[in-house]
Amino acid sequence: MRTKIIAGNWKMNNDKKATAILIEQLEENLQNTNGRLIIAPPFTHLEQSVALTKGSKLEVAAQNMHQAISGAFTGEIAAPMLQSINVRTVILGHSERRTYFNETNHALAEKVQTALDYDMDVIFCFGEVLSERKEGKHFETVKQQLEEALFGLEAAAWKKIILAYEPVWAIGTGETASPEQAQEMHAYIRQVIASKYGAQVANTVSILYGGSVKPSNAADIFQQKDVDGGLIGGAALKAEDFLAIAKAI
């Protein structure tokens, strides 16, 4: 059975005090939540968050990392640094990293391999922009992103991979892919993986939906056969909303 996952990407939000308050609010209300719950605060609050969630159901992930393990890369963070503060999961390939920081599929392939070398779980993000969806290229785009970034991996490595499909046109816009659109793409993703690695890998990898998930639409999205949870943005910054989404899985 595939693991159900709700991951909250806090992006560049919350100072130290706000981080502590939000984690406290989450911790107080984790009852009746299902699956694996992950939060991804900014780098400056990762160690604090790990300490505050010790012994909790909540896990802490990083929002990004560099492919090198050390060196002259000002402002970057390496896998050994994350491990040293007990962060074992990292988000890679988020659409904002691709758009604003020009991350390519080939660079992401290197990042994924480094994370796996350090026994980290990877939440790998991918998805099409609005023009690609309108031109009917969304399947082609998604397939290329998967092939170029992940298809160099051995089948066993997929045990550490969590996929997060992001229709970029539905992030922060208030637009959301319909449950049927989400299911169509998630089913296609499994077909693409099965064509390379076989049905067992395809049917065991968790695929999250990431695109303006909120309490009002979460249940409809999560009831789709091939949707295994969500990568949550704005709603992850409000404990009540994040918990309501977690209870909908």
Active-site residues: which are they? 94, 166
Taken in order 18, 52, 160, 116, the sign of the CA dihedral is positive
**Residue 181 tokens, joined:** 């659109």
Amino acid of residue 118: Y
Ramachandran angles phi, psi of 193, nearest 5°: -65, -40
* Cα distance between residue 151 and residue 122, in whole Å: 14
* Number of residues that this document lists for the chain: 249
State how far the alpha carbon of 221 is from the alpha carbons of 120, 183, 210, 227, in Å: 28, 8, 10, 7
Give the closest residue to 87 by CA, choosing from 96, 95, 97, 77: 77
* Cα distance between residue 5 and residue 227, in whole Å: 10
